[in-house]
């Protein structure tokens, strides 16, 4: 298994540009999520999905869109990049069974810089 993969690893954008961060997992996990990591603030949840066709907002969703057309893929879209979106982005996945201490598996992260 490749686990959770993310592309690209690094990206530089200009303000106003759009792009999609890709995330895929091959573990047949129902639950997938996107976090951003900023210095001194830990990881914060952007959006999450409990299954194909179902998405919901996390703590910091503004400026980001997601979709979940398949179980494997969960792309994160920046419609009009802003310098405040400069961050490291992590995708994570896990089984989605209640009453179980499922581990979330994280991808390697994407470092995004918006100029």
Partner 1 sequence: AQTVTQSQPEMSVQEAETVTLSCTYDTSESDYYLFWYKQPPSRQMILVIRQEAYKQQNATENRFSVNFQKAAKSFSLKISDSQLGDAAMYFCARRSDQGAQKLVFGQGTRLTINP
Candidates 20-28, 61-69, 78-86, 90-98 — which segment interacts with partner 1 by CB under 8 A?
A: 90-98
Q: Is 63 in the site for partner 1 (CB under 8 A)?
A: no
**Burial (CB count within 10 angstroms: exposed 0-12, middle 13-18, buried 19+), residue 83:** exposed
Sheet containing strand 76-78, strands side by side: 4-7, 19-25, 76-78, 64-66
Q: Which is nearer to partner 1, 16 or 56 (CB)?
A: 56
- H or E segment and range at residue 34: strand 31-37
C-alpha to C-alpha distance for 36 and 60, rounded to whole angstroms? 9
Q: Is 108 in the site for partner 1 (CB under 8 A)?
A: yes
2: phi then psi, degrees, rounded to nearest 5: -80, -15
Binding mask 20-59 for partner 1 (x = CB under 8 A): -----------x-x-x----xxxxxx--x-x-----x-xx
Q: Name the site residues for partner 1 (rule: CB under 8 A).
A: 31, 33, 35, 40-45, 48, 50, 56, 58-59, 88, 90, 92, 94, 96, 98-99, 101-104, 106, 108-109, 111
């Amino acid at each position: 298994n490749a686990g959770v993969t993310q592309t690209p690893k690094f990206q530089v954008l200009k303000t106003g540009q759009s792009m999609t961060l890709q995330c895929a997992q091959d573990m047949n996990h129902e639950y997938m999520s996107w976090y951003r990591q900023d210095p001194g603030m830990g990881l914060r949840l952007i959006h999450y999905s409990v299954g194909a066709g179902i998405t919901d907002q996390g703590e910091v969703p503004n400026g980001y869109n997601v979709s979940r057309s398949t179980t494997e893929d969960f792309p994160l879209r920046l419609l009009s990049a802003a310098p405040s979106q400069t961050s490291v982005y992590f995708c994570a996945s896990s089984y989605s069974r209640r009453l179980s201490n499922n581990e979330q598996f994280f991808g390697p992260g994407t470092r995004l810089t918006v100029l």
